[in-house]
Structure 1
Amino acid sequence: MDPAQRIEWMLQNSRETYDTAVKCLQTNYYGAKHVTEALLSLLQSSSDGRVVNVSSSYGLLRFFGSEELKQELNNVENLTEERLDELLTKFLKDYEAGALESQGWPTTFSAYKVAKAAMNAYSRIMARRHPELRVNCSHPGYVKTDFSMNSGLLSPEVGAANVTKVALLPAGGPTGSYFASGEEALFV
């Protein structure tokens, strides 16, 4: 299958419910956030502490229909963790109410896209709050794994290499950035 056919196949073979949306946010956003917070003091004691959050091209803001949501999630100077949590709570309320489209949220793979967009925003908040660390996001590429129902184009080794490349950037490198397949890219 070509990439478009693979996406169509995934759309037809995945079902998202409110409960799976909650679990998706818990895993893909809150889980990674809690691990980062648990390790923060250790990272700060390092001479070159780094955090690389695994993201996705699905976390890019172009998947959001609301310009207001895009602007708020992209406003790294003013966005806070508290506000990010409020937005995620609103997403779940809108999901439960069947109001994703009318409120400007992504409508396909919605929880995953929102979780990854939140992870991107959180990484930028952390980079701003902790300039002694380098905190970045990395999209490994469309990897052939159980998660992608083995429909990915890249081997797990290539995907891991893309993330590792970001972790091994030289000292003094970028922070608060998004990398796609090992190269710096935009959040939008």
Structure 2
Amino acid sequence: MDAGQRIDWMWTSCRQTYETAKQGLQTNYYGTKRVTEALLPLLRSSSDGRIVNVSSNFGLLSVSIIRRSLKQELNGVDRLAEERLDELLAEFLRDFESGGAEARGWPAEFSAYKVAKAAMNAYSRILARRHPELRVNCAHPGYVKTDITRNSGILTPEEGARNITSVALLPEGGPTGRYFSEGEEASFV
């Protein structure tokens, strides 16, 4: 199977409930955010502190968000605040629970994962703006053979890790607030 066929297979094999959607947001967004906040004092004391949040192409706004106004809001990180991200995630969960998520502009497939990764991308950009002394970026490792992909990925774990490590090892004073896909800088949209 090619990557698209593998994703289709995963979609037909995986269905979300409200509880798993809530757990997905807790893991993929809030868990990462809590760890980051706990480590910020240490990172800020470094001469070249770096944060690389593992993202996904599923978190790109063109993939994860249908409603145009929501895409614009998540892409407008100069005006976006963490509190608003929390409000949007709560809205997503309400819409998901009521069965109206797709009608309200949220993704139908892998919805909690996509929304959490889009929120993580926005949060990373907010952090980069708030802490210019740090290098804060997002990196998509590629479609990797792991438990989350039910080992249907194309890349080995080593290849995926190399894509993340390449972002962590960018030169001092390198880019911040950016998105990298398989080691190459790309658009959040």
Question: TM-score per shorter chain, which class?
Answer: over 0.9
5 Å matches for 1:106-117? 106-117=107-118
5 Å matches for 1:8-47? 8-47=8-47
> Which position in structure 1 is the counterpart of 2:175?
174
How far apart in 2 are the matches of 1:2 and 1:181?
17
How far apart in 1 are the matches of 2:4 and 2:130?
39
Task: Compute the TM-score of the two structures, normalised by the length of structure 1.
Answer: 0.99
**How large is the Cα RMSD of the aligned pairs?**
0.5
> Which position in structure 2 is the counterpart of 1:187?
188
> Which position in structure 2 is the counterpart of 1:159?
160
* Residue 72 (structure 2) pairs with residue 50 (structure 1): no
Q: CA deviation at 1:8?
A: 1.2
Give the counterpart letter for 1:98 in structure 2: G
Q: CA deviation at 1:101?
A: 1.4
Report the count of equivalent residues.
188
5 Å matches for 1:118-133? 118-133=119-134
> Which position in structure 2 is the counterpart of 1:3?
3
Q: CA-to-partner distance for each residue in 1:23-45, whole Å, 9 max, x for gaps?
A: 00000000000000000000000
Q: CA deviation at 1:118?
A: 0.3
How far apart in 1 are the matches of 2:91 and 2:4?
31
Q: CA-to-partner distance for each residue in 1:52-79, whole Å, 9 max, x for gaps?
A: 0000000000121100110000001000
How far apart in 1 are the matches of 2:4 and 2:47?
44
> Which position in structure 2 is the counterpart of 1:59?
59
Give the counterpart letter for 2:54 in structure 1: V
How far apart in 2 are the matches of 1:129 and 1:56?
23
> Which position in structure 2 is the counterpart of 1:104?
105
- Worse-superposed segment, 44-53 or 98-107: 98-107
How far apart in 1 are the matches of 2:41 and 2:14?
39
5 Å matches for 1:125-144? 125-144=126-145
SS for the counterpart of 1:135 is: strand
SS for the counterpart of 1:32 is: helix
Q: CA deviation at 1:107?
A: 0.8
Q: CA-to-partner distance for each residue in 1:97-134, whole Å, 9 max, x for gaps?
A: 11111110111000000000000000000000000101
Q: CA deviation at 1:135?
A: 0.3
Give the counterpart letter for 1:16 in structure 2: Q
Give the counterpart letter for 2:110 in structure 1: F
Q: Percent same amino acid at aligned positions?
A: 70
How far apart in 2 are the matches of 1:36 and 1:65?
28
Q: CA deviation at 1:93?
A: 0.3
Q: Which runs of 4+ in 1 moved over 6 A?
A: none
Task: Compute the TM-score of the two structures, normalised by the length of structure 2.
Answer: 0.98
Q: CA deviation at 1:4?
A: 1.8
How far apart in 1 are the matches of 2:152 and 2:143?
8
Q: CA deviation at 1:173?
A: 0.6
Q: CA deviation at 1:5?
A: 1.3
